[in-house]
Every structure is written in structure tokens, then in C-alpha cells.
Chain A
């Protein structure tokens, strides 16, 4: 598995947990897993959309991290480092899956007239609703729309906009160029905008 050496300029002091892990302290390992597993599991679920596979990916990730602990250079926080490993573990499992047939993203991109104008005028989005119930409803609508995106585009969106992985690293994880990743993330946002527009447009 690809073990990234993620740089995190915000980091200052070395993690005291690291020394205990390197000393082989069992309690330190439990602490590390307990503290990080929920976030890593959420990340793996977002990528794999399958509970069991996500848990397997989390396990893959921790074991890969334990093996690489001696080489961990502290250039990022332990949490950031684990997160990147979990992303790669989940992607690796995703690649092993047979590819499901997907719809084309082209149908969800804006259409243009010959002179470069919007073929159909875009409609304005309403402001986010105030009430909790309405917000929850919107979230489930958005999740359903994200699930409709072709997988390559959904992944670009999840890695960039949700997991907030830097472009270079996300591109490397997906095995594509940085330019290609930016295009995919942009197309994914455009397609999602198209899917959301009829549901979230401002009522006159």
C-alpha cells in the first residue's frame, strides 16, 4: 500500500504517543486505534459506501501504519498520516471491485449555445434552510445526488471537497495527473449542481 509522507505545516510538537508506540506499549496502540478509528471509518465508508468493506479497509490501514511506524517521519501529525493511509486502503479495495456500469457525466454538465452562452439559464439556489429538520432533509437529498455521480467523479469530489486532500496527493492516490483530478472534481461539482438545482432552486 502507498504510505504517504504528508506534510502538515501547522504541526508543532512531536506526538508523545509516538514514542510509546515505538516502544511497543500495548495501551498506546489501543489509544491510537480508539482515537482515530471513527474518523478513518467514516472516510472509508464515504469512499466504499459499504459498512463491512469500510471496516476491513480501516483494519488494512492500521496494520499498514503499524508496519510503517518506524519510517514515520513526523512531517505530518499522526492523525493526518493515518487519514491518508486509510484513504489509500479504501481506494485499493475499491479498485479490486468489478466496476459497476455508470451513467455519463456529460449529461449532467451545463449545455452551451454556439456563442458560448448558457443554453438554459441557470436557476438560483435558495439560501440554506434554518430548521434542523429541513437541513437534515437537504443533506439526505444531497447524499442521494452524490451517489448518482459516476464513481470516478464521486471519488474526486469526496477526496477534494470532503476529505480535503491536497490536489497532488489525491491525484497520486487515484493514479491520475493533477490536471485530470482538477477537471474531475470540477465536473463532479457541476454535475452535482445540475442534480440539485431543481430541488434547491429559489422559489419566486
Chain B
């Protein structure tokens, strides 16, 4: 098994979905390849709960590089976190769209009398000051 195959099987390994011969080959690579072992260990080290706490900073690109790597490694092997992250990102986009789209009542026109009232209030204020 090479590193690429190992990586593609990580999620199934975590979920216990590997058949026995594949599981053995997976374990063999894990024991032989320090780089894969290190990444796999990092991914398993974080809990889903910790991943959820890092979401905000990860989305903002503010997570320190080391932690961002663990976060991404975890999401790579964890289907639930991937699904959660995707829904989180969609939620942010939907919220923005919902409150700024043209059919939002908040975007309707400004009445001319408001414009007039603001300008009249300015003149009134200047008059009082002078």
C-alpha cells in the first residue's frame, strides 16, 4: 500500500469499514511510514467537539498553521465533521443572502420624506447653534 492509497482509506479505517486483508495492509503501512502515521495520529488526536470549536477561526483563516493542519486532517477522516463543516459554511452564506437579497423587506426604498426630515433637522440644528 502506498501513501495515496493509505490516505484514501483513512476514513473507512476510522469507521471500521475495512475488510480484513485491507485492514492488515493499512496497519502495515501505518507502522512503516512515519509521515502517514504522524498525520493519522494528528487527525485522530482531535475530537469532533474540538473541531467544532475551531470552526470559526478555521473559516476565518485565523487558526495557527499547526492546528489548522490537525483540523483539516480530522475533517479528512471524519465524515460527520465534514458534513457539519459544509452545513456551517452554507449557513453563513444563506444568512448573508437572506438578509441582503432584494426581496428582504429591509432593502425596500427610503421614503423621500425621511430624506427631507434629515435635511430639515440639519438646518434646524445649525440655526440653533448660530
A and B pair up: yes
Whether B48 lies near A123 (C-beta < 8 A) is no
Whether A125 lies near B86 (C-beta < 8 A) is yes
A residues in contact with B101, CB < 8 Å:
136, 139
A6: interface (CB < 8 Å)? no
Complex CA gap A193/B57 in Å reads 17
B residues in contact with A116, CB < 8 Å:
47-50
- Count chain B CB atoms within 10 A of each CB in A26, A185, A189 and give the residue with the most: A189
B75: interface (CB < 8 Å)? no
What would 12 A/B residue contacts be, using CB atoms closer than 8 Å?
A: A30-B115, A33-B115, A42-B107, A63-B125, A116-B49, A122-B80, A122-B83, A124-B83, A142-B95, A157-B95, A182-B56, A182-B57
Binding site secondary structure of chain A:
helix
- Count chain A CB atoms within 10 A of each CB in B95, B96, B114 and give the residue with the most: B95
Interface string of B31-65 (1 = CB under 8 A from A): 00000000000000001111010011100000000
A165: interface (CB < 8 Å)? no
A residues in contact with B87, CB < 8 Å:
122-125, 193, 196-197
Whether A122 lies near B95 (C-beta < 8 A) is no
Whether B84 lies near A146 (C-beta < 8 A) is no
A residues in contact with B97, CB < 8 Å:
139, 142
Whether A62 lies near B98 (C-beta < 8 A) is no
Using A38-B109, A186-B55 as known contacts, say yes or no to A162 and B118 having CB atoms under 8 A apart: no
Partner of B98, one of A58, A142, A182: A142
B residues in contact with A173, CB < 8 Å:
none
Nearest opposing residue in chain A for B98, CB measure: A142
Using A110-B84, A125-B87 as known contacts, say yes or no to A45 and B115 having CB atoms under 8 A apart: no
B94: interface (CB < 8 Å)? yes
Complex CA gap A69/B108 in Å reads 28
Using A45-B106, A116-B49, A146-B95 as known contacts, say yes or no to A59 and B119 having CB atoms under 8 A apart: no
Whether B83 lies near A189 (C-beta < 8 A) is no
Whether B121 lies near A37 (C-beta < 8 A) is no
Q: A117-B49, A161-B96, A162-B95 are in contact. List 12 more A-B contacts (CB 8 A).
A: A33-B118, A38-B109, A116-B49, A122-B80, A122-B83, A124-B86, A139-B94, A139-B101, A142-B94, A143-B99, A189-B91, A190-B88
Partner of A59, one of B50, B90, B103, B121: B121
Using A38-B109, A193-B91 as known contacts, say yes or no to A121 and B80 having CB atoms under 8 A apart: yes
